[in-house]
C-alpha cells in the first residue's frame, strides 16, 4: 500500500530503493592529497606511496561519473538511479558516522560497496524532510578497512526569490581548547567542489543559491567543514589516531561571513564543532582517538 506523507512524498515507493547496492574500485592516487593540502595551505599530510590517508580525505575518491547530460537542475545527478527519486528538491549533506578499522593507504586499490540502508520521512521544524541513509564499506588490497554511514537530507522547495525557513539556532555548550577562524572565500569553495567533482550549484552559483534554494549566500560544503574539524584537531594535538568520527550538520554555513572551527579533548574523546559568525552551532562532531 502506498503511504502519502503530508507533502505528497510516497514513502513506500521510495523505500523500494532500500537494499540497492553499488560496487566501485579505485586506486588511492597521491594527486588529490597534494591538491587538497594546497587548498587548505597545510603541509600536514604525506602523499608518499604507502602513507596513511588522513581521516575523511577518502571523500576525494570514488567521485561521481555522471555525464553532464545526466545532471538535474541543482547540479546533482538526476535521481532515480542509485539514489531514490525523492520529490523534495533541496538536497543537503546532513551528517555521518565513520569507523576506521585500518586507514586506507596511498597507492592502495580499494573496493567500495555502497548500499541504500533506509529512506525516512520526518517533519522538521524547518518543514518536511526526507533522509536517505547510505552505507559504504571500504576494503583495501593492503588491509585498509572503513565503514561509513552517510545521511543525505532533502528539503522542500522554496518559492523562488524567498528565503527558506532556517533551522533553529543553538549555542555550543562546551568551552573550546582551540578555535580557528576561516574565511570561506570563492577560491576555497571552488577548489573543494572541483576536488570532489561536486556540481551542486548551492556551492558556486550565487544567483541559483539565492533565488532558487533560498540561501542568502553560497553554502559551504558539509564534508569540507567536517574535514576542517579533523585537520584543526590534528594541528592542535599532533599524532592523534582517529578511530571513529560522527557528525551532524545542524545549520548551513554561508560564504558571506567567517566561521570558526573549534574543539576540545577529554581523554580519548574529541568534541568538535563549527560555529557561525554569531557563535551559533552549525556542525557538531565527536571523534574517538588513540
Chain residues binding ligand LRN75BOA by CB under 6 A are 91-95, 122, 124-126, 129, 131, 151, 153, 155, 167-168, 198, 200, 219, 221-223, 248-252
Instruction: Compute the least distance from the CB of residue 120 to ligand LRN75BOA, in Å.
Output: 8
Q: For the CB of residue 248, give the shortest distance to ligand LRN75BOA in the complex, in Å.
A: 4
Q: Which residue has the cell 520521512?
A: 121
The nearer residue to ligand LRN75BOA, 56 or 219, going by C-beta atoms, is: 219
Give the integer Cα–Cα distance in Å for 234 and 238. Answer: 5
As a whole number of angstroms, the distance between CA 201 and CA 209 comes to 7
Task: Compare residues 7 and 240 and give the one whose CB is closer to ligand LRN75BOA.
Answer: 7
CB of 109 to ligand LRN75BOA, least distance (A): 25
DSSP H or E stretch at residue 39 = helix 31-39
Measured CA to CA, the distance from residue 225 to residue 219 in angstroms comes to 11
Query: Measured from the CB atom, is 188 or 250 closer to ligand LRN75BOA?
Result: 250
Q: How far is the CB of 163 from ligand LRN75BOA (least distance, A)?
A: 13
Spatial distance between the Cα atoms of 152 and 166, rounded to a whole number of angstroms? 18
d(CA 154, CA 132): 8
The residue number whose beta carbon is nearest to ligand LRN75BOA equals: 124
Sheet containing 259-266: which strands, arranged edge to edge? 21-27, 109-124, 127-140, 145-155, 90-102, 242-249, 281-289, 269-275, 259-266, 178-182
Between 108 and 151, CB nearer to ligand LRN75BOA: 151
> Which lies closer to ligand LRN75BOA via its Cβ, residue 146 or residue 226?
226
Amino acid at each position: 500500500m502506498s503511504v502519502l506523507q503530508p507533502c505528497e512524498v510516497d514513502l513506500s515507493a521510495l523505500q523500494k530503493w532500500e537494499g540497492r547496492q553499488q560496487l566501485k574500485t579505485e586506486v588511492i592516487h597521491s594527486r588529490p592529497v597534494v591538491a587538497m593540502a594546497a587548498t587548505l595551505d597545510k603541509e600536514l599530510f604525506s602523499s608518499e606511496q604507502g602513507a596513511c590517508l588522513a581521516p575523511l580525505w577518502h571523500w576525494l575518491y570514488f567521485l561521481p561519473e555522471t555525464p553532464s547530460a545526466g545532471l538535474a537542475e541543482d547540479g546533482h545527478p538526476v535521481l532515480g538511479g542509485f539514489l531514490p527519486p525523492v520529490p523534495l528538491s533541496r538536497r543537503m549533506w546532513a551528517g555521518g558516522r565513520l569507523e576506521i578499522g585500518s586507514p586506507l593507504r596511498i597507492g592502495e586499490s580499494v573496493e567500495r560497496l555502497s548500499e541504500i540502508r533506509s529512506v525516512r520521512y520526518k517533519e522538521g521544524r524547518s518543514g518536511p524532510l526526507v533522509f536517505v541513509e547510505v552505507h559504504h564499506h571500504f576494503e583495501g588490497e593492503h588491509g585498509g578497512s572503513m565503514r561509513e554511514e552517510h545521511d543525505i537530507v532533502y528539503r522542500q522547495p522554496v518559492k523562488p526569490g524567498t528565503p527558506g525557513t532556517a533551522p533553529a539556532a543553538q549555542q555550543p555548550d562546551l568551552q573550546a581548547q582551540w578555535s580557528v577562524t576561516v574565511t570561506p572565500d570563492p577560491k576555497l569553495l571552488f577548489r573543494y567542489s572541483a576536488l570532489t567533482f561536486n556540481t551542486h550549484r548551492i556551492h558556486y552559483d550565487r544567483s541559483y543559491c539565492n533565488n532558487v534554494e533560498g540561501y542568502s549566500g553560497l553554502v559551504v560544503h558539509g564534508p569540507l567543514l567536517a574535514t576542517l574539524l579533523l585537520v584543526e584537531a590534528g594541528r592542535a594535538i599532533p599524532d592523534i589516531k582517529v578511530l571513529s568520527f560522527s557528525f551532524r550538520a545542524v545549520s548551513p554555513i554561508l560564504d558571506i561571513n567567517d566561521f570558526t572551527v573549534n574543539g576540545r579533548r577529554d581523554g580519548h574523546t574529541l568534541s568538535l564543532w563549527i560555529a557561525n559568525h554569531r557563535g551559533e552551532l552549525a556542525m557538531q562532531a565527536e571523534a574517538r582517538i588513540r
